[in-house]
Amino acid sequence: MTVGITKLGTDHDDRLIGTDLDDSLSGLDGADWISGHAGNDTITGDSGQDTIYGGDESNGTIFIEAVDGHYLGYGGDLIDGGADGDKIVGGAGFDTLYGGDGNDSLYGGSGRDVIHAGAGDDYIRMGDAPWTPILPTSSEESLVPFEYTDAATGDAGDDTVVGGDGVNLIYGGDGNDDLRGGSFVDAVEGGGGDDRIHGGAGDDVLDGNDGNDTIRGGDGADFIGSGSGGEEFHYDVGNDRFYGEGGADTIAGGEGADLVDGGNGNDYLDAGGGDDTVLGGNGDDSYVNGGSGNDWIYGGAGDDFVSGGSDTDNDRVYGDAGNDTLEYVGGNDTLLGGDGADVFQISADGVGDLSGTARIKDFDAANEVVDLRDVFANVAQVLAASRDVGSNVRIALGPDRFLVIENVHISDLHRDNFWFDTVVDGDDGANSLTGPRSPAALLGGGGGDGGDGNDTLDGGSGDDSLRGDGGDDRLDGRAGNDLLSDDDGNNTLLGGSGDDTLAGGRHDDRLEGNSGDDLLVFSGGADIFISGAGNDTFLVHFNAQYIDGVATIADFHHGTDHIDAREVFPVLTAAGPESRHAPPLPLALG
């Protein structure tokens, strides 16, 4: 160390210039202009809107305590912006920038920089120096073993961090951050808050951490993980790896050969193009799709919807544990339901009859079904297209499209093993209508079958539509996501299992949702609502014809059930609801 000069400013606007030696410069108050020149300098801006140049070749220390100051470091500087909203430019050396409190703008410059934004909603743009990265190889490794050119920490606040062309290490910290990697290799971790992360070009390591994050891998072979929130992920070109861990994740894959692991939670996974491996993990996953390419798809535990995709490639589709739906559209796919009572759905999916053969490896004729609604209208058509081939059944789905059910003969199958688009329509007599196991519509005629008589409509399993119309009717949806409606009479509507919609009429009805997330609609009359298990919604429907009535909710669950009265009370004020219709419909909550 070669000791240089020591200079102190005044309370005014000072101009302080160092030497080529190791100087100590302090601006004190005022809007100061300070240049360290060469040497390893220590520069303190203190109060005021200061402009500070670290010098040409310095590796010094610069402390800045200023109000809305502009700071530029040309050597290897340490610049501290203090408590206010600062603009700091690192320059060409190995700089360390501290934004401090306030809404700061920090620019790393062309050297290798370390940036700490501090509290406040900050903007960080990193530099462009090249470096050699070391990427983690599994979801268990942290972002620490990573050689970088620039590092930025957002800390508290809703920060925006933009990586440069070098190797960037970015940590968002707390807050809802916007974190963007550069064109080379990046390691980005969101921290707390609901973050938006984009890896950019290059082979990136991206981790959402806590919060409900949206992560886009960008081009390159990316390694992507998340924390405990419900994340949304998008891939572009590259062979990407994703680990959803906890939370309800949404993942859209790109064109590479991706590994997608949804982890725990009810996930939506679409791997996109390429030969992918997709793991639904635990939870009831609404969509696990391999997309185009030769994919391996595993639903995991829970009741999942699993598909090989709408293409002619060769996929292996595993439902695993739970009551799963396995979809086949085209290609030579292998389907294994695993444990549970599974549905094998043969779909056209709006693309016509694709060629190929689907092979069901573990069909259980006692408990499982094949959904043929897109292909056949009835069981007679299925039998006409079926042949026993060795120990298997082969069903011709089209000119070059087949379904093979292994270790099953035609004689082992029965009507309830197939789903078709079914309409059960009563005549003018007093009929009792019972739907099949497949989704069905039960429609009444003029008698006691869903028309004007006292009817009994039983939907059975499947997603059914039951309409009672006149008379005192009993509608039982049973299993499936059913729609039950009855316009007139004193009726009983039973949703059964599944997410059902029950709509009563003008008279005195009893609506029981039972299990599932149900919608129970009140239009008038002295109705009794029993929601049962699940997150249920009670909709108060305004109809000018049925203005009178009382709806009694027998088992309202605070925290999970909801009342939607927007059609009656569009405005809620401190004095209570203001009705646009008179008289009001009272609700008795029991």
- Tell me the mean pLDDT in the region 410-415: 92
Is the per-residue pLDDT at 229 higher than 50? Answer: yes
Give the pLDDT band of residue 269 (cuts 50, 70, 90): confident
| Phi, psi for residue 298 in degrees, rounded to 5 | -125, 125
Q: Which of 67-81, 169-183, 519-533 is most confident?
A: 519-533
| Phi, psi for residue 503 in degrees, rounded to 5 | -125, 110
pTM > 0.75 = no
Give the pLDDT band of residue 46 (cuts 50, 70, 90): low
- Percentage of residues of the chain with pLDDT beyond 70: 64
| Phi, psi for residue 532 in degrees, rounded to 5 | 75, -160
Q: Within 13 Å, how many C-alpha atoms sit on residue 292's CB side?
A: 6
Query: What's residue 263's pLDDT?
Result: 82
- Tell me the mean pLDDT in the region 516-537: 87
| Residue 163 near residue 113, CB atoms below 8 Å | no
Is the per-residue pLDDT at 485 higher than 60? Answer: yes
Give the pLDDT band of residue 383 (cuts 50, 70, 90): very high
Is the per-residue pLDDT at 504 higher than 70? Answer: yes
340-349: pLDDT as tens digits: 999 999 986 5
Query: What's residue 315's pLDDT?
Result: 94
Q: Between residues 164 and 511, which one has the greater pLDDT?
A: 511
Give the pLDDT band of residue 440 (cuts 50, 70, 90): low
Q: Within 13 Å, how many C-alpha atoms sit on residue 176's CB side?
A: 3
- Torsion over CA of 145, 146, 152 and 157, rounded to 10 degrees? -50
Q: Within 13 Å, how many C-alpha atoms sit on residue 22's CB side?
A: 7
Percent helix, strand and coil across the chain, each to the nearest 5: 0, 35, 65
- Tell me the mean pLDDT in the region 486-508: 86
- Tell me the mean pLDDT in the region 227-246: 63
- Give the contacts of 400 (CB within 8 A, at least 6 positions apart): 353, 355, 356
Query: What's residue 150's pLDDT?
Result: 63
Query: What's residue 67's pLDDT?
Result: 34
